[in-house]
Amino acid sequence: MASTLSALRAFLADHPALARVEVREAKGSTPREEGTWMLVAPEAIFGTIGGGQLEFMAIDKAREMLAAKRSETGRDAGARLDIPLGPDIGQCCGGRVELAIEPVDKALRAELESRAKSDDDRLPQVLLFGGGHVGHALAQALALLPVRPLVVETRAEAIAGFPAEIETHLTAVPEEFVRDAPPGAAFVVLTHDHALDFLIVAEALKRGDAAYVGMIGSATKKATFKSWYLKTAGGNEADFARLVTPIGGAALRDKRPAVIAALAAAEIMTALAAAVPRASSA
């Protein structure tokens, strides 16, 4: 995922007049949770509080605030909206949301940047070992999601065409990246060499704190790995059971890289959600 902090700084620089809309309280079924925020400029927005009529109403109120003159005290006044999400506004969520809307001053800008940096720092890391067709497609899919994808390759030509926003590493010892990964990381192994796949997966399965360990392959490859892992690599049945292979499941037998990437990305996000507390962000 592109850095929230970088995107926020660019938005702040382009829009000097801003209001923040924040979900202060969420009761029942609501589009987003408490703490979610977005920024509203006269002609642009950053982030979302869930879309629909709720968001349209908040944007209109924020822009009214930005257009209004300052109060007699010289301070910008904020506003609160208490909105039931029912038929009256064309939404059927059934919950209730309280929004706080306030102009963004210098202090709030600093607070927003601090929160964005904290959100970036908390993003779980997904290490992709292999930059082939599926690795490339999966990296691009993950770049749209709230994770930090990192591609590790042993071949320089395999990472030459990756977008600049995707972090890549060229190394002769990819298993070192497994050992150095932070707790809660996900490991996806899809290199050009089955022996290298096996080595990296065996190292990843040593990480009891891994949120996900997956390997591209087939039933035959899985059986071959299991035999090697248990008989030669010193592995055990319990750790082997944590391995997801083939990645993306077997519900669809479509082997096109983009399809595998979409299914695997959903699988990885599900595993990360079960392992890492979800953070509120824009």
Report pLDDT digits (tens) over 110-147.
999 999 999 888 899 999 999 999 999 999 999 999 99
pLDDT along the chain (282 residues), means of 10: 85 95 90 92 94 90 84 62 74 80 94 92 95 94 94 94 88 96 97 96 97 95 96 96 92 87 96 69 44
Q: Residue for token digits 């509080």?
A: 49
- The architecture in CATH of the region 123-275 reads 3-Layer(aba) Sandwich (3.40)
Residue type, 117: K
pLDDT of residue 164: 81
The SS3 assignment for 115 reads: helix
* CATH 3.40.50.720 location in the chain: 123-275
- Please give the pLDDT value at position 276: 57
3-class DSSP assignment, residue 62: helix
> Exposed, middle or buried, 179 (CB in 10 Å: 0-12/13-18/19+)?
exposed
Judge contact between 134 and 214, C-beta under 8 A.
Answer: no
- Quote the pLDDT of residue 82: 86
pTM for this predicted structure: 0.81
Q: Give the span between the Cα atoms of 162 and 139, in whole angstroms.
A: 9
Instruction: Give rounded-to-5 percent helix, strand, coil for the chain.
Output: 40, 20, 40
